[in-house]
Each structure stands twice: as C-alpha cells, then as structure tokens.
Amino acid sequence: MATPSAAFEALMNGVTSWDVPEDAVPCELLLIGEASFPVMVNDMGQVLIAASSYGRGRLVVMSHEDYLVEAQLTPFLLNAVGWLCSSPGAPIGVHPSLAPLAKILEGSGVDAKVEPEVKDSLGVYCIDAYNETMTEKLVKFMKCGGGLLIGGQAWDWANQGEDERVL
C-alpha cells in the first residue's frame, strides 16, 4: 500500500469540506492495526471515516451507512472507489441496500452496478455493515486484492442484543 499520507491525499483530492447529513448519527471508529488511518475526524476527535489495507486489498469504513448514499459526498465517494480499485477499469459492485450509491457513481461516469453478491470480477464492492452472511466472501475478496467500501454504526449492531462479541 502507498504510505498513509499518499493514500490520504488520494482520498481527499478535491474534497474541501464535509457536508454530512445531520440526521445520520454516526459511531466512533476504533482504529486497530498499523495500516489503518483516519480520514475524517470530527471536532471532538472521533474518527468517522477510516481507511486501511487488508491482505492485497484496501478498505474504507464510514461510520454511518447513510454517508454512502449522500450526493453531497460525491467527490469523496469517487475518490474512495478510485483509491480502492487496484484494477483500473474493473466494475464497481454495489449491494442492493445501497442502490442510490450506484446511481451516484454512474452519474459521474463510473462503471457501477447493483450486485447482490461480491464477485471476483469486481474491483470494489460497496455494502452496509449489516450483512453477516457475506463476511467470509468479503474478507477473501480483500485478501485477493479487492477494495471494500463499507458503512454502518456499531451501536446498531450492539443494540441487537444477545451477541456479546467485542473486538
């Protein structure tokens, strides 16, 4: 992976401000691993967007899934899928739960399509953080060089009750 500073520059190219939706209550991301770095930090020092490498792939994590479907974040979303895609020209897959993201990307000339499953032919897959059935496939996809753009709130997962897993 490029240095975190070079990756940060690629992700932030042309992004001059964050216009995140006020009604989307994000969680704070906890960065672990030497390859992870913050991309967006709020005034309280909480990380709301982070990035990292994983295996031969890369990932960008957003602390609320609504950030992935906001047209006002288009410059950042375009930078994110561009940075995540290690195979120039490879299509971008978007899970049906984020269908508006496919329209945002397509409207900017990106080859994006709604795909219910991650496929090896994709350069990047975009999904919310609530689909546990695809976890193994997503990990394999990244280990093999794919890019993952994912968003969700940890508090939503924690409020679902009985599972006591942490980190």
| 90 lies in some domain | yes
pTM above 0.85, yes or no: yes
To which H or E segment does residue 151 belong? strand 147-151
Residue with the bigger pLDDT between 39 and 157: it is 39
Quick one: average pLDDT of 98-124?
97
Decide if pLDDT at 141 tops 50: yes
CB 54 within 8 Å of CB 142: yes
Domain encompassing residue 88:
4-158
Decide if pLDDT at 126 tops 60: yes
Residue 55 token pair: 């295996």
| 32 lies in some domain | yes
| 167 lies in some domain | no
Mean pLDDT (the chain) is 90
Quick one: average pLDDT of 130-146?
94
Q: What is the DSSP track for 3-62?
A: -HHHHHHHHHTT-------TT----PPPP-STT-EEEEE-TTS-EEEEEEEETTEEEEEE
Residue-wise pLDDT for 81-104, tens only, equals 999 999 888 999 999 999 999 999
Quick one: average pLDDT of 156-166?
56
| 166 lies in some domain | no
Per-residue model confidence (pLDDT) at position 167: 44
Per-residue model confidence (pLDDT) at position 33: 85
Candidates 87, 67, 82, 90; CA nearest to 151 is: 67
Backbone angles phi, psi at 16, to 5 degrees: -105, -20
Burial class (CB in 10 A: 0-12, 13-18, 19+), 133: exposed
Residue with the bigger pLDDT between 31 and 102: it is 102
3 state DSSP class of 66: helix
| 163 lies in some domain | no
Decide if pLDDT at 163 tops 60: no
The tally of domains found in the chain comes to 1
What gap in Å lies between CA 93 and CA 98, rounded to an integer? Answer: 10
Quick one: average pLDDT of 14-21?
85
| 128 lies in some domain | yes
Per-residue model confidence (pLDDT) at position 158: 56
